[in-house]
Chains A and B, each alone.
Chain A
Amino acid sequence: MSSLSARITVLAGAAMWLSACASNPVADEKIAVAKTSVQRAEQAGAPQAAPVELSTARDKLARAEKANMDHNLKPSAELAEQANIDAQVAEATAQQERSHKAAAEFDASMRALRQEATRGSQSNQ
């Protein structure tokens, strides 16, 4: 009987110890979100289009993870939030660059086409 209560005490202690060690779920989630955003940005051409924003995001993500380990929950969550938005800005910068380039190329092709059309109708006259 006494051994059982001793076991319970040990278990409870272990649980407490674990929970104290476990990181904060809010910071965890924000870090996970930021990680995903950074990965997306990396795959979306941000390393070329927005290297500064991307490396800022990576840096903040690393710092968020470290703060989380150190139980500095508020800074961790805030850094993760910043890393997330920075990564999104980096990704959007790459996308914007692509769309802008595609639109410029499209405009050029349309100009050429219109000129050709004008020449064609003139030669027809």
Chain B
Amino acid sequence: MKTKLLIGMAVALLIVSCATTPEPNATLESARAVVKSAEADPNVVKYDPLDLEGAKKELEIAESAYLHHDEPGIAQPAYLAAQTARLAQLKASAKADDARVAAGQEERNQIQLAARARETENAKAARDLEAQNAARLQAEVDALKAKPTDRGLVLTLGDVLFDTGKAELNSGAARKLDQLAQFLTEHPDRRVQVDGFTDSVGTDSYNLDLSQRRADAVRSAVLGRGIDSTRITSQGYGKAFPVASNSDSGGRQLNRRVEIVIGGENGATIPARH
């Protein structure tokens, strides 16, 4: 009985002595923490498992030294474990960044290609629009029966639109003036110069006055159709600038006229007649 008790106590002592955990070791604990955080890093697992393995092996060596109370044997493997784990994290972080950039290159190329395609499309749309505008302008000019000259588009109102010796427009002029006003509304940046002319019959002062009044009458008629007064100027030239001979009635009729000069885009000024 006594012997058994003694043996039991001896066994218990043995167990206790074996079970005592060594004093905590700061180097080892910090190595554990670093290795653990590297293990938890998905980039490390993906991009640098080799160094992670190395770190874990060193940590095992340190743990083993710790368990065997080999205090001096802990520091070196623990240090190597921690530094190798750091190395793994740094390498993995770099590789993850590199991989992201490499993968993004393809997306970048696609975005650039799409942008280029869109630019081409936009340019084409702009060209189409320009062509449409040009075509519409041509159609409008055709409708006005305006002639392109170096001063601009010239629209001639013939003598028949005025009563003889008078400056009032008769009803025949209304349609042309409506078309002109509509054209000017659609092209608000174009200016207009109205020039009046007569034949050579009568005194110069009479002709100058008549041509001025006729030009003014056309200007007023256009203003009456809602066009801003600053866009239109008028000038009488009398018998100057004939377009036909004044020696016969047909030529004289052609010379009695009002010319409406439509300026270019962007408010371009109309050069004076000379």
Q: Return the chain B residue nearest A95 by Cβ.
A: B94
Q: From the candidates B87, B121, B122, name the one contacting A89 in the complex (CB within 8 A).
A: B87
A47 to B122, CA, bound (A): 51
CB of A124 within 8 A of CB of B122, answer: yes
A5-13, A14-22, A62-70, A112-120: which lies at the interface: A112-120
B97 CB contacts on chain A under 8 angstroms: 96, 99-100, 102-103
CB of A96 within 8 A of CB of B80, answer: no
Q: From the candidates B94, B115, B118, name the one contacting A96 in the complex (CB within 8 A).
A: B94
CB of A100 within 8 A of CB of B104, answer: no
Q: From the candidates B76, B94, B107, B114, name the one contacting A100 in the complex (CB within 8 A).
A: B94
Give residues in B with beta carbon < 8 Å to A.
Answer: 76, 79-80, 83-84, 86-87, 90-91, 93-95, 97-98, 100-101, 104, 107-108, 111-112, 114-115, 118-119, 121-122, 125
Grouping DSSP codes into helix (H, G, I), strand (E, B) and loop, the A interface class, with mixed when no group exceeds half, is helix
Further pairs besides A85-B79, A89-B90: 5, Cβ < 8 Å: A82-B76, A95-B91, A100-B94, A103-B101, A120-B118
CB of B111 within 8 A of CB of A117, answer: yes
If the complex has contacts A120-B119, A123-B122, are A86 and B83 also in contact, measured as CB distance less than 8 A?
yes
- How distant is A61 from chain B, measured CB to nearest CB, in Å? 15
B114 CB contacts on chain A under 8 angstroms: 117
Q: Which of A95, A114, A121 has the most chain B CB atoms closer than 10 A to its own CB? A: A95
Q: Return the chain A residue nearest B86 by Cβ.
A: A89
Q: From the candidates A93, A103, A121, name the one contacting B118 in the complex (CB within 8 A).
A: A121
- How distant is B271 from chain A, measured CB to nearest CB, in Å? 38
A120 to B100, CA, bound (A): 26
Q: Return the chain A residue nearest B119 by Cβ.
A: A120
Q: Return the chain B residue nearest A74 by Cβ.
A: B76
B112 CB contacts on chain A under 8 angstroms: 113
If the complex has contacts A95-B90, A96-B93, are A81 and B98 also in contact, measured as CB distance less than 8 A?
no
